[in-house]
Structure 1
Amino acid sequence: MKKTSIGGQAVMEGVMMKNLDRYAVAVRKPDHEIEVMTDEYKSLGSRYAVLGLPIIRGVVNFGESLYIGLKTLSYSSSFYEEEDYEPGKVEQFFTKIFGDKLESVLMGITMVISVILALGIFMVLPFFLTNLMKGFLPSYSIRTLIEGIIRVALFLIYIWLISKMEDINRVFMYHGAEHKTINCLEHGEDLTPENIKKYSRLHKRCGTSFLLIVMIVSIVVFMFIRVDSLLWKFILRILLVPIVAGISYEFIRLAGRSNSKLVNTLSKPGLYLQYFTTREPDAEMIEVAIKAVEGVFDWKEYLRAMHNGELED
């Protein structure tokens, strides 16, 4: 099986696919037509060599993925806004101030709020909960392990809760369409709904796997925080989050390129978690995923080169 550089995500009634510096969003509009938008985003890692170094590139990639993800999600949801929607006074006020840059400003604010909430719920809360155990559980290593278990448990509960929402369930179906389409392509088959349906909705390079790996890696990294001050333990945990994300990215990157038994075994927890964040898509959703691929990738030429042995391993 050949690997590709294509990755993506599900959006509202659609799929985003990214290949190198290009990305495309395909959305099934309310009239059932498919709208495709393509754009370019040149990674900071390709512009500044230092940002392409191991560990650092993971932090950069995470930030850029979050930015593109929010941008494409906003684009897809624009097709489903109420026709009689009128902006409120607050929105009109900020529009006058920022003009055409308002959307970028709002995305920036959303990114900051999202990161703060994630850190608060999945990093800070488990830390303070386990610190309450200090009186009857003096071992720092055991408390750190319990902290990690609480963190993973909160993440799993969060995934389980949002999977019960109808709109999110449809997003998870498009998530499955994204994975199945990439799997079909990497196995060398034509991108048709019939072929794609045969493939797994799980993929080792999935963002869900990345987030779970972050939770697990944090347990190991935080074990090395050996300071007496509660404040410094808290500060160091926050400061080390980028390191944890960078290490996790390197593992996901390796997993996407390797078929070794060890890597496949270590990838299994993330793959199993994808049973919660993906659903089996219908044929129309698969068609949307195909359109998204075609917006950034000549899959027919790719398959021709694959079958002729012209691709490098």
Structure 2
Amino acid sequence: MKYANIGGQAVMEGVMMRHKDRYAVAVRKENHEIEVKSDTHISYGKRFHVSGIPIIRGAFAFVDSLVLGMQTLTWSASFFEEEEPADAAGRKKESAAEVSGKKEEESAADSDKGFMVLTVILSLALSIGLFMVLPFFISNIFRRATDSGLLLGIIEGLVRLMIFIAYIVLISRMKDIQRLFMYHGAEHKTINCIEHGEELTPENAAKYSRFHKRCGTSFLFIVMFVSIAFFLLFFQIFPIESMVLKVVCRILMVPLIAGVSYEIIQWAGRHDSGLVCLVSKPGFWMQKFTTKEPDLEMLEVAIASIEAIYDWREFQKELAE
């Protein structure tokens, strides 16, 4: 199996696929048609000229995936918003942008960008608080029973894993999320089909695994393990008494943890050794919750997204050489 250099994510009733500086989102609308949007997105790693620097590029890639993911998810959701109320003449009310003209449209676009930035910041803050800071405070409850920094660090790591697993399991039970996870499975199956060198059709893609080594779920699971190792090592070498400093250090180490985890997931995605299988196995377990078996129509949507930006036939020629 060869690395196809393509990735993506599920969106509302659709799939986003990305290849280099191009991305496409395909959405199955309520009238059953597939709407496809393709555009260019220069990664932050390239913008800041760090895409060739290991670890640092991973921290930028993490933020990059959050921003693009939020943008494409918002775009897909726009197809399923409630209809505008009709006026007395039975016509839909015009939006503020339509009434006010071009200047207001530009203002609205700027407002959307600001809202997107705020959403990403809040998402990062919530994730860091839930998975990095909260486990630390919970583990400190056990300080009454032991003053061993090593043991408390292990307890903190176990609490972090338990919170992460509980979070994944709980959201996987939500009905709307289950459909999202079906499209997540469609994303993986189509990429697996390409990387195994088979013609990309819904029927062929359906035969392949819904699990993939470069999945975001696997990345987050690796983040959990890397954070345990980093925090244990750091606070054993640099014992800190201040609770505030302990929290600050954990927050400051998040970009480093994300960068190292990125390098691990990229390495795993390009190799097929026994060690890679061992590293990938925990992520596959979690993907049992975050991916579901898609139907053929969902696979068709994923394929539409791929074909808007990626020449999979040319890739197959390279595999055959």
Same fold (TM over 0.5): yes
- Aligned mates of 2:152, 2:38 — CA distance in 1: 48
Query: What secondary structure sits across from 1:35 in the alignment?
Result: strand
Q: Cα deviations across residues 111-160 of structure 1 (Å, max 9, x unaligned)?
A: 11111111111111110111121121111111111111111111111111
- Aligned mates of 1:97, 1:47 — CA distance in 2: 24
Aligned position for 2:251:
238
Q: CA deviation at 1:51?
A: 4.9
Residue 296 in 1 paired to residue 309 in 2? yes
Q: Cα deviations across residues 191-227 of structure 1 (Å, max 9, x unaligned)?
A: 1111111100000000000001111110110011221
Letter in 1 for 2:82: E
Question: Given the alignment, which residue of 165, 172, 175 partners 2:184?
Answer: 175
- Aligned mates of 2:145, 2:44 — CA distance in 1: 48
Structure 2, gaps ≥5 residues long: 86-92, 97-103
Query: What secondary structure sits across from 1:50 in the alignment?
Result: coil
8 Å contact from structure 2 (residues 16, 24) kept in 1: yes
Q: Aligned in 2, Cα 1:87/1:113: closer, same or farther, shift over 3 Å?
A: farther
Question: Given the alignment, which residue of 256, 272, 295 partners 1:259?
Answer: 272
Q: Cα deviations across residues 229-250 of structure 1 (Å, max 9, x unaligned)?
A: 2221111011001111111001
CA RMSD of the aligned region, Å?
Answer: 1.9
Question: Given the alignment, which residue of 129, 140, 147 partners 1:131?
Answer: 140
Aligned position for 2:215:
206
Correspondences of 1:54-65 after superposition (within 5 Å) = 54-65=54-65
Aligned position for 2:81:
81
Aligned position for 2:90:
none
- Aligned mates of 2:109, 2:9 — CA distance in 1: 26
Q: CA deviation at 1:52?
A: 3.3
- Aligned mates of 1:87, 1:112 — CA distance in 2: 32
- Aligned mates of 1:164, 1:203 — CA distance in 2: 21
Q: Cα deviations across residues 13-44 of structure 1 (Å, max 9, x unaligned)?
A: 00000000000000000000000000101123
Letter in 1 for 2:311: D
- Aligned mates of 2:197, 2:105 — CA distance in 1: 51
Q: Cα deviations across residues 72-99 of structure 1 (Å, max 9, x unaligned)?
A: 001100000111268999xxxxx79943
8 Å contact from structure 2 (residues 25, 305) kept in 1: yes
Between the two proteins, the alignment pairs up a number of residues equal to 304
Letter in 2 for 1:60: F
Correspondences of 1:7-46 after superposition (within 5 Å) = 7-46=7-46
Query: What secondary structure sits across from 2:132 in the alignment?
Result: helix
Aligned position for 2:231:
222
Query: What secondary structure sits across from 1:31 in the alignment?
Result: coil
Question: Given the alignment, which residue of 265, 268, 278 partners 2:281?
Answer: 268
Correspondences of 1:94-109 after superposition (within 5 Å) = 98-109=107-118
Query: What secondary structure sits across from 2:73 in the alignment?
Result: helix
- Aligned mates of 1:87, 1:121 — CA distance in 2: 41
Question: Given the alignment, which residue of 147, 160, 171 partners 1:151?
Answer: 160
- Aligned mates of 1:32, 1:193 — CA distance in 2: 16
Letter in 2 for 1:106: F
Aligned position for 2:263:
250
Q: Aligned in 2, Cα 1:87/1:128: closer, same or farther, shift over 3 Å?
A: farther
Q: CA deviation at 1:69?
A: 0.2
Aligned position for 1:114:
123
Letter in 2 for 1:160: V
8 Å contact from structure 2 (residues 4, 315) kept in 1: no
Aligned position for 2:88:
none
- Aligned mates of 1:295, 1:150 — CA distance in 2: 43
Q: Aligned in 2, Cα 1:143/1:97: closer, same or farther, shift over 3 Å?
A: farther
Q: CA deviation at 1:173?
A: 0.1
- Seq. identity, %: 53
Letter in 2 for 1:5: N
- Aligned mates of 2:316, 2:261 — CA distance in 1: 31
Aligned position for 1:92:
none
Q: CA deviation at 1:49?
A: 3.1
Structure 1, gaps ≥5 residues long: 90-94
TM-score (norm: length of structure 2): 0.91
